[in-house]
């Protein structure tokens, strides 16, 4: 059984606790930093939207174009990120109900 470590990630000023493999931590933190930067860019470009709209835009971009988004995402991490992004999307949906 593989060992997972708990990490806290921040998406749009909200903290989420996830469990990941140790070797994925650096990539996850880097991509989450890029996601947050993208959310800020979307806020500037599309003023007046809800924060969930910005989060959705950033996550959709990363989920559909992991190899080209930000120019830094690694293709080998893409399946893992899709799973984690789906989990974050589910958490957001539950929170907003």
In 1-97, alpha helices (H): 25-45, 51-64, 78-96
Instruction: Return the SS3 of 48.
Output: coil
Is residue 8 scored above 90 in pLDDT? Answer: yes
Specify the residue for token string 């991490």. 77
Its pTM stands at 0.63
pLDDT in tens, 43-68: 999 887 888 889 888 888 877 775 55
User: Backbone phi, then psi, for 48, in 5-degree steps?
Assistant: 95, -5
pLDDT in tens, 15-52: 999 999 998 999 889 888 988 999 999 999 988 788 88
Calculate mean pLDDT across residues 6-11: 93
Is residue 71 scored above 50 in pLDDT? Answer: no
Calculate mean pLDDT across residues 66-77: 50
User: Where do the structural domains in the chain lie, given as residue ranges?
Assistant: 4-96
Angle between helices 51-64 and 25-45 (to 10 degrees): 130
Stronger pLDDT, 53 or 78, i.e. the higher one: 53
How far is it, in rounded angstroms, from Cα 14 to Cα 6?
16
30 is written with which tokens?
């880097």
Burial of 7 (0-12, 13-18, 19+ CB in 10 A): middle
């Amino acid at each position: 059984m593989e060992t997972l470590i708990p990490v806290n990630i921040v998406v749009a000023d909200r903290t989420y606790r996830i469990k990941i493999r140790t070797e994925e931590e650096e990539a996850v933190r880097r991509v989450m930093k890029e996601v947050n930067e993208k959310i800020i860019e979307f806020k500037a470009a599309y003023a007046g939207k809800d924060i969930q709209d910005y989060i959705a835009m950033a996550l959709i971009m990363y989920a559909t174009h992991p190899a080209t988004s930000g120019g830094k995402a690694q293709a080998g991490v893409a399946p893992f990120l899709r799973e984690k992004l789906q989990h974050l999307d589910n958490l957001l949906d539950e929170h907003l109900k």
